């Protein structure tokens, strides 16, 4: 039975959304094609009607997740940047791995992935760095802030107790506030 182009596109969108959530929750590499398709109620064989390979799906997941981030805006003023960083370095975001930034849960997998996946991640990270660099007037500071934020969230998620997680996040928020005030 042939499905309409619209149905195929809807299925592809469901697969992308589901795969992004699954990847951020439990890793992409460890979830097989059958598991990805089962999550949307289809068999593994149907996967290849939507993507030539699992690597191609991962590239699309990275594009979608990084491209939809509120931090990836091309134009941002300093007060909005400060608010976004406070939200990023919050316990609510730390506890929302599935709905939050894909870099902490997927960074290692992106680093190990094939070149097209890494190129997609690089595209979005450079865009983010350029936007922040323009706002801050310092491209190197932008890279440092991005690294600090992602690292703080990753370290926070590694910890078992919420009070210690909050200490990590608060230390990073304080550091970023000092740096932003000095750079302003």
7-30 tens-digit pLDDT: 788 888 888 888 888 888 888 888
| The pLDDT of residue 146 is above 70 | yes
Q: What is the pLDDT of residue 1?
A: 54
Calculate the average pLDDT of the chain.
88
Q: What is the pLDDT of residue 73?
A: 61
Q: What is the mean pLDDT of the segment spanning 56-80? A: 82
Total domain count for the chain?
Answer: 2
- Clarify whether residues 47 and 69 are in a common domain: no
- Clarify whether residues 78 and 164 are in a common domain: yes
- Clarify whether residues 31 and 97 are in a common domain: no
Model-level pTM?
0.84
CA 166 from chain centre, in angstroms, equals 21
| The pLDDT of residue 151 is above 60 | yes
Residues 153, 89: contact at Cβ < 8 Å? yes
**CATH code at position 41:** 1.10.10.60
Let me know if residue 57 belongs to a domain: no
Let me know if residue 152 belongs to a domain: yes
Give the domain range for residue 105.
65-183
- Clarify whether residues 128 and 78 are in a common domain: yes
Radius of gyration of the chain (CA): 18
- Clarify whether residues 96 and 40 are in a common domain: no
């Amino acid at each position: 039975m042939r499905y309409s182009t619209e149905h195929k596109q809807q299925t592809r969108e469901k697969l992308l959304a589901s795969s992004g959530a699954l990847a951020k929750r439990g890793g992409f590499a460890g979830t097989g094609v059958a598991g990805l398709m089962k999550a949307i109620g289809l068999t593994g064989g149907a996967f290849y009607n939507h993507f030539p390979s699992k690597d191609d799906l991962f590239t699309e997941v990275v594009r979608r997740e990084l491209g939809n981030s509120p931090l990836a805006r091309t134009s941002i003023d300093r007060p909005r940047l400060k608010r976004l960083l406070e939200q990023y370095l919050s316990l609510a975001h730390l506890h929302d791995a599935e709905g939050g930034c894909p870099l902490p849960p997927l960074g290692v997998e992106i680093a190990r992935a094939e070149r097209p996946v890494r190129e997609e991640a690089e595209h979005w990270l450079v865009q983010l760095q350029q936007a922040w660099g323009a706002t801050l007037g310092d491209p190197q500071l932008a890279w440092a802030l991005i690294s600090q934020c992602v690292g703080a969230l990753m370290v926070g998620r590694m910890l078992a107790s919420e009070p210690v997680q909050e200490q990590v996040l608060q230390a990073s928020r304080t550091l970023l506030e000092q740096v932003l005030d000095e750079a302003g």
